[in-house]
Amino acid sequence: MPSRLLLIGVFTILFSACSNDSKRSNRPIVLGDSTQIVTETDSKYLSDFVDDIKLQTPQPDTTSYTKSETPTKDSEKVVNQIKPATGKGLQIIFKDVTVFIAGIQTKTYRNQDLQKANGASYQLLSGDLSGNAIQLSGSTISKVSQRYTTLVTATTDFGKLQLTDLGTTTDWTPLSGNGKSYRISGLNNLETEEANTATLRASIIKAARNKRVSRQILHKWEETAHQVKTINSAPLKVSLRSVMWKIEGKDASGKAFQKQVRIDLNP
């Protein structure tokens, strides 16, 4: 009996405590009530409830834009604007680079889409290449190389022959320059194929026969061939047939490119 009374007393005390807590938690907040104030010494309410946020310093936008202060879509970006060179001469505006050779006049063989092509060819009408310069703009140029082909002709008062089997094509040779201008050199002392007297005579007679000259003219060419000593002796002459340049560099986006230009002097 005493134990039963003790158990009832314990339940009565617990019920009373829960009832008081419930009444306190549901009552309205009262300003100045010290029981409802959270101070900075209460560690329960001062602890973090989210992970720390790591802030990153924004990086500057290094993309170049033209005629606009705000970025636009990629298709609307103006990149690598190439300004045409000024003055008289040959101007070739490729997609990646502009090539200009001053003081010469040329003509093209056909329509050339320079925005898609990796090369262009022309025929020289007037002006000099030797001692001239190749001027470049619009990209970063790393190297300009040159090569040429020669033509050997035999000229007499009874005709002219092209000795095509005696012509030569040189290897690529780097030109001196500073990335914007490269001097055209090496066109005065032309390289020639090594040919002995027998080779020279055979080439002249072969060219005369291929030209289907008369028997009388063929006989004159045969006599002339037996008088030839060297490839640079009359009536033979070594001249430029064409000059080619290979331009290597990187465009505005850093992509490597290569362009070639050919100018024919004796097509």
Provide the percentage of residues in the chain whose pLDDT is more than 90: 63
**pLDDT in the model for residue 9:** 58
**Long-range residue pairs from 207-216, CB within 8 A, at least 24 positions apart, any chain:** 207/154, 207/161, 207/162, 207/163, 207/164, 208/159, 208/161, 211/159, 211/161, 213/159
38 or 90: which leads in pLDDT:
90
175 vs 101: CA distance, rounded Å: 15
Q: Is 214:204 a contact under the CB 8 Å cutoff?
A: no
Please state which of the ranges 66-70, 163-167, 229-233 shows the lowest mean pLDDT: 66-70
**pLDDT in the model for residue 112:** 84
Q: Residue 182: which of 237, 141, 228 has the closest Cα?
A: 141
Measured from the Cβ of residue 151, the count of other Cβ atoms closer than 10 Å reads: 20
Give all strands (DSSP E) within the chain, no chain letters.
89-93, 98-102, 105-108, 119-126, 133-137, 140-156, 159-162, 173-174, 181-183, 236-250, 256-264
**pLDDT in the model for residue 111:** 83
Residue 32 reports pLDDT greater than 80: no
Confidence band, pLDDT 50/70/90 cuts, at residue 82: very low
Q: Residue 106: which of 86, 117, 116, 91 has the closest Cα?
A: 91
Q: Residue 236: which of 267, 199, 211 has the closest Cα?
A: 199
**pLDDT in the model for residue 145:** 98
Confidence band, pLDDT 50/70/90 cuts, at residue 193: confident
Measured from the Cβ of residue 106, the count of other Cβ atoms closer than 10 Å reads: 17
Measured from the Cβ of residue 245, the count of other Cβ atoms closer than 10 Å reads: 21
262 or 36: which leads in pLDDT:
262
**pLDDT in the model for residue 109:** 83
Residue 267 reports pLDDT greater than 60: yes
Residue 259 reports pLDDT greater than 80: yes
Q: pLDDT tens for residues 85-141?
A: 457 999 999 999 999 999 999 999 888 899 999 999 999 999 999 999 999 999 999
Residue 39 reports pLDDT greater than 50: no
Residue 149 reports pLDDT greater than 70: yes
91 vs 146: CA distance, rounded Å: 18
**pLDDT in the model for residue 47:** 39
Q: Residue 162: which of 204, 99, 128, 215 has the closest Cα?
A: 204
Q: pLDDT tens for residues 195-240?
A: 999 999 999 999 999 999 999 999 999 999 999 999 999 999 999 9
β pairing state of 256-264 and 119-126: parallel
**pLDDT in the model for residue 215:** 95
